Chains A and B, each alone.
Chain A
Amino acid sequence: EVQLVESGGGLVQPGGSLRLSCAASGFTFSSYAMSWVRQAPGEGLEWVSTIIHSGGSTYHADSVKGRFTISRDNSKDTLYLQMNSLRAEDTAVYYCARLTHHSYGYGDYWGQGTLVTVSS
């Protein structure tokens, strides 16, 4: 059974940093691209970042470019999102999702989400 479990969310002050993790199981993690998608309270879905299966290429939304970094450790079956210079508008539930292909695709499996709150 495919499982994605996010962790690392919490309360952080503006300007602070946080690292999210997504532990994967039930599939060959190194064969799939992975994404982070976020949802601010009461709002819609926003794509944040994608990393290809090997980690060799990454893509970030303009809203987080230069502040967030997506990475993966295929030996640990774990996806990461390093978030720096956090702003109030980064407050959201962050989901990790497996994509359907090695370098692109659709989110066919999702984690339960982890809440990040940026506030003083």
Chain B
Amino acid sequence: DIQMTQSPSSVSASVGDRVTITCRASQGISNWLAWYQQKPGKAPKLLIYAASSLQTGVPSRFSGSGSGTDFTLTISSLQPEDFATYYCQQAYSFPYSFGQGTELENK
């Protein structure tokens, strides 16, 4: 089974900051990776799929990169509505798996 490890587990940042979150797969997954945003009490929202493709309707300040085992999610200029928890997920093989999440907090 493929394990997904995110870092950091939490990050404090301010509006306007550039934020980067990392996700590492325990084995190569090509570009079969998604990033989700989740706010308290809400369902996850797909932000990025296929490692770097922006889901329709997602602001362009979100971007993803990587291939193989190492991936990043970058928010270029943090907005107030971006404070949330972010998860990566591999869709390379079953069982699918998520990272443990990164909580993005307001500094």
Number of interface residues, chain A, beta carbon within 8 A: 23
Which residue of B43, B99, B101 has the most chain A CB atoms within 10 A of its CB atom?
A: B43
Asked if B91 and A45 make an inter-chain contact with CB atoms under 8 angstroms apart, the answer reads no
> B44 an interface residue at 8 Å Cβ cutoff?
yes
Among the 9-residue stretches A71-79, A81-89, A109-117, the one with 4 or more Cβ atoms under 8 Å from chain B is A109-117
Which residue of chain B is the closest to A111 with respect to CB atoms? B43
Which residue of chain A is the closest to B44 with respect to CB atoms? A110
Asked if B43 and A95 make an inter-chain contact with CB atoms under 8 angstroms apart, the answer reads yes
Binary contact track B43-81/A, C-beta < 8 Å → 1, others 0: 111100100000100000000000000000000000000
Q: Which residues of chain A have C-beta atoms less than 8 A from B97's C-beta? A: 47
Within 8 A of B (CB), among A56-115: 59-62, 95, 97, 100, 104-108, 110-113
Binary contact track B11-53/A, C-beta < 8 Å → 1, others 0: 0000000000000000000000010101000011110010000
- 21 CB < 8 A contacts A-B: A35-B96, A44-B98, A44-B100, A45-B36, A45-B87, A45-B98, A46-B98, A47-B96, A47-B97, A59-B96, A62-B1, A62-B95, A104-B91, A105-B49, A105-B91, A106-B34, A106-B46, A107-B36, A108-B55, A110-B45, A111-B43
Residues on B lying within 8 angstroms of A by beta carbon are 1, 34, 36, 38, 43-46, 49, 55, 87, 89, 91, 94-101
